[in-house]
Structure 1
Amino acid sequence: MAGSETHHTLPLPTFDKPTKVLIVVAPYYKDIADDLIAGARTTLEEAGVAHETVEVPGALEVPSAIALAHRQSNFDGYVALGCVIRGETTHYDTVCNDSSRGLTLLGLQGACIGNGILTVENRDQAVVRAEPDGQNKGGGAAAAALHLIALSRKWGRETKGIGFKPTGSFQIAGDNEGPATA
């Protein structure tokens, strides 16, 4: 059982510039969501990171909210929180797969996201995973976002001085129509 195994946890990164994270939570199961938020906030505050929290109706809306914030705001990273408990229909599979896929696609586009959306078989599993003094999956999601922000800052600002950089406009030989723009 995973609950009895030991896991290596990376130390939290440190930041020399201000860092701001958006926590996006689907509070469908409010008590579980509150524990996830508490764990995430504690981890962010331990790292000295500013944060805001917004609520959305369900796990399917979490990626959309993060996409909006990533395009239109100035957050360095995101913590996705919520809980999906298996029910009697296949809706569980849709919500789990599509929320996870949405977050993964955003991450592959450069958003620094820690995924703390629990996908469990029953409420007892959710409670154990959400408790800040237990498995603290909210804190783990916040830590994941912080590590991705640190990597983004490490690699995102490097310039190697190689490659082609267009100067704004150029003309193709034999083109009498005027300059083309890049």
Structure 2
Amino acid sequence: MAKSETHYVLPRPEFDKPVKLLIVVAPYYKDIADDLIAGAKAEIEAVGGSWDLVEVPGALEVPTAIAISDRQSNFDGYVALGCVIRGETTHYDTVCNDSSRALQLMGLQGLCIGNGILTVETREQAVVRANSNDQNKGGGAAAAALHLVALARKWGGQRKGVGFRAPTDPILLAEKSDGSTTV
């Protein structure tokens, strides 16, 4: 296996208000998922942040869980974790492409998401990438989400509190043609 090339890593962002991320993981390969989670938790805690964790059946369900959470809770950002190892069928391509595309589309809509879903050829590649003492892709995904949260706060301020929405907060269902909204 080729040694990974060194690369520049941005300094950790600093936060003057609490930051809370949701880690969404597909633990299909439990040992690999556990290493990714450990890296993500450590990175979030290193900036004084907090996190919650949910498990979903597979990588295709990770974006759906993030979308549900965004509608029903107040996390500042999200860390998507899992592992897809190439098999004998084209299912690998579908899972890799569709989960990545869904996460990217939500990111383009303003969600702060770090994508740590590994897409690898072999289990050995996954182990190296997940290990927090090696490539630490879980920590990298958390760092990406934290950097995006910092940018969102810099440019737009914090729009959400930390935790779940109070029952009195309106849920906006639709926008009228005049720009007003229906509750």
Band of TM-score, shorter chain = 0.7 to 0.9
Q: C-alpha distance in 1, partners of 2:110/2:2? A: 30
1:106 partner letter:
M
Tell me what 1:79 maps to: 79
Tell me what 2:140 maps to: 140
Tell me what 2:38 maps to: 38
RMSD between aligned residues: 1.6
> 3-state SS of the aligned residue for 1:12?
coil
> 3-state SS of the aligned residue for 1:28?
coil
> 3-state SS of the aligned residue for 1:58?
coil
Percent of residue pairs bearing the same amino acid type:
76
Tell me what 1:106 maps to: 106
Q: C-alpha distance in 1, partners of 2:19/2:74? A: 10
Higher Rg of the two aligned structures: 1
Q: What does the per-residue CA deviation read over 1:44-86, in whole Å, with 9 as the maximum and x for residues that have no partner?
A: 0111101000000000000000001111100000000000000
Q: C-alpha distance in 2, partners of 1:91/1:73? A: 32
| Offset, 1:6 | 1.1
Q: What are the ranges of 5 or more consecutive residues in structure 2 without an aligned counterpart?
A: 159-177
> 3-state SS of the aligned residue for 2:3?
helix
> 3-state SS of the aligned residue for 1:119?
strand
| Offset, 1:181 | 7.7
Q: What are the ranges of 5 or more consecutive residues in structure 1 without an aligned counterpart?
A: 159-179
Q: C-alpha distance in 2, partners of 1:2/1:44? A: 29
Q: C-alpha distance in 2, partners of 1:145/1:2? A: 28
Tell me what 1:62 maps to: 62
For these two proteins, the number of residue pairs brought into alignment is 161
Tell me what 1:119 maps to: 119
Tell me what 1:14 maps to: 14
Q: 4+ runs of 1 displaced by more than 3 Å?
A: 1-4
Q: C-alpha distance in 2, partners of 1:52/1:181? A: 35
The alpha-carbon distance between structure 1 residues 181 and 24, as it changes in their structure 2 partners (threshold 3 A), is closer
| Offset, 1:2 | 6.7
> 3-state SS of the aligned residue for 2:70?
helix
1:145-156 equivalence runs, <5 A: 145-156=145-156
> 3-state SS of the aligned residue for 2:74?
coil
> 3-state SS of the aligned residue for 2:60?
helix
Q: C-alpha distance in 2, partners of 1:2/1:16? A: 41
| Offset, 1:157 | 3.2
Q: What does the per-residue CA deviation read over 1:110-136, in whole Å, with 9 as the maximum and x for residues that have no partner?
A: 100000000000100000000010000
Q: C-alpha distance in 2, partners of 1:88/1:156? A: 46
1:86-97 equivalence runs, <5 A: 86-97=86-97
